[in-house]
Structure 1
Amino acid sequence: MIQTVIFDMDGVIVDTEPVHRYAYFHHFNELNVDVTDEMFSTFTGNSTRNVFQKLKAIFNLEHEVEDLIQRKRNIFNDAFDTKADLHLLEGVEDLIKDLHQNGIQLIVASSASKVTIDRVFKRFHLHQYFSDIVSGEDFPKSKPHPAIFEHAVSLSMAPKNQCIVIEDSSNGIEASVAAGIFCIGYNSEHSKLQDLSKANLIINHFNELSAEKVKNLK
């Protein structure tokens, strides 16, 4: 029986991807680097640090990675605070509440920074439902490397075979598979360029899940 659900955040709980995309491309313009949509799609699920490490190598940027990260985060934070139409993804809040009320442990494992996760969780009052928050900034390698999910499982009250991951990106699903955790792929309108085929189960809406269904998965 499933006892722990590990959520990705961006694209699963809240769609901050358009804000991230705005911040990244605003910064790319400042840096005068030409990042294509195809290249950008390969960064989904990567931490900001890993993205800029890759871009620094690709474009031979002279800037320090930490400076690049900070500038992008400043642009993101300004946009986040002024974006009035930022909402939780449809159905996810009901699912989170249902899982929590039925004694299922919830953990978030996101490539986002702790500051960004906290910003989202405070805005939507989510701290009360989640036992642990795991940020990708604490790991040298981003998804598809399994480290973030392996750590999330170590925080679970249940063994790995009683945990599942909900992800919306190719990199996130590969990380879950590499960690040996049952993975639900969320096929949202924002994951069109993502390959969800390696997920154990694919859903198109969160109303396809409930605490009862989740507990009996596998």
Structure 2
Amino acid sequence: MSKINTLLFDCDNTLVLSEELAFEACAELINEICATHNVKLEKPFTGESLIKEFVGQNFRGMLVGLQKIYNFSLTPEQLEDYVRREEDAVIAKLKASLVPCPGVDAQLEALQAEGKYKLVVVSSSAKRRVWASVVKVGQDRFFSEDVVYSAATSLPVPTSKPDPAIYIHSLEQLGKKAEEAVAIEDSKSGTLSAVRAGIKTIGYVGPYSDDRKAEMEKVLRDAGAVVVMKDWSEFPEMLAKIESGAA
């Protein structure tokens, strides 16, 4: 069994509480896009309704999905313009209000002090947005910009989780094998992405409301997470289970 030496952290709602803020900005722009392209919605999207439908996907992935659902099409130029606008809007919201997930910084500090693992960020979101998030909450003391990988901007062809491409790319860039790494993910799409790349994955349901935690634990386990934690304080125990071969 290969020794674990690399930890791959999702960013949104795993390291930082960004999903709600980001989806608020997304909803405003998506409603504008739908109106511009004569898409009839029963009611306008809200951040909450978008989260339910598209959590774990980046904005490009959302737009691809929306075009299929509502049968409209965007030109490549329009798509790129909307992706840029969404990135700017989300970064503005994150810079104003972003905070880290409760308890994560204490774990990152302990991991950094131990010096046993390479700490890496693997996200669906654009790298500019991910790095802005990391810097805003001071987590750039744990992660360097060169080990932040984005499905939206780090790949030759942009994609989004659950496509495993970004995890496969990250491992290649780091010179690591899947069995040397553990991923930490809060969404079904993110968990599927890591698992499809052959990486053992810790699910995290901390950011979900108490009435959804049990449901999301099942979702993440069904997607392939080998263990699931409700709080970052459980992380050392979960990692130890994987390293011992118990999970």
The answer, yes or no, to whether TM exceeds 0.5 is yes
- 1:135/1:217 CA distance change after superposition, 3 Å: farther
Higher helix share: 2
Letter in 1 for 2:83: I
2:101 counterpart residue number: 89
Question: Max radius of gyration: which structure?
Answer: 2
Q: Quick check: 1:201 aligned with 2:227?
A: yes
Match of 2:124?
111
RMSD: 2.5
Count the aligned residue pairs. 216
Distance 2:242 2:176 in 1: 12
- Following superposition of structure 1 onto structure 2, how do residues 40-119 of structure 1 map, counting pairs within 5 Å? 40-59=51-70, 60-62=72-74, 64-83=78-97, 86-103=98-115, 104-119=117-132
What displacement does 1:186 show? 0.4
1:152-188 deviation line (CA, Å, top 9, x unaligned): 2223364321210000000111111111110000012
Identity across the alignment (%):
26
Deviations 1:59-82 (A, max 9, x none): 315561112212222322332233
Secondary structure of the residue aligned to 1:6 is strand
Larger relative contact order (Cα-Cα within 8 Å, sequence gap ≥ 6): 1
Residue 140 of structure 2: aligned partner: 127
Task: Name the amino acid aligned to 1:113.
Answer: A
Post-superposition Cα deviations, 1:103-150, rounded to whole Å, max 9, x if no partner, equal 211110011111111111211222332251101113433111111111
- The CA distance in 2 between the partners of 1:107 and 1:201, in whole Å, is 20
Task: Find runs of 4+ consecutive structure 1 residues off by over 4 angstroms.
Answer: 35-40
Unaligned 5+ segments in structure 2 are none
SS of residue paired to 1:10? coil
Distance 1:62 1:148, change over 3 A: closer
Q: Take 1:74 and 1:158, find their aligned partners in 2: how far apart are those partners?
A: 33
Q: Cα deviation per residue 1:13-63 (whole Å; 9 max; x = unaligned)?
A: 001111111111111232335358666534222222221122234331556
Do residues 175 (structure 1) and 190 (structure 2) align?
no
**C-alpha distance 185-122 of structure 1, shift in aligned 2 (>3 A):** same
Tell me how far apart the structure 1 counterparts of residues 183 and 162 of structure 2 sit (CA, whole Å).
Answer: 13
Q: Which residue of 1 aligns with 2:171?
A: 153
Structure 1 counterpart of 2:205, which letter?
Answer: N
| Structure 1: gaps of 5 or more residues | none
Quick one: structure 1 residues 15 and 169, their matched pair in 2 at CA, closer, same or farther if it must change by over 3 Å? same
Structure 2 CA distance, aligned partners of 1:164 and 1:46?
20
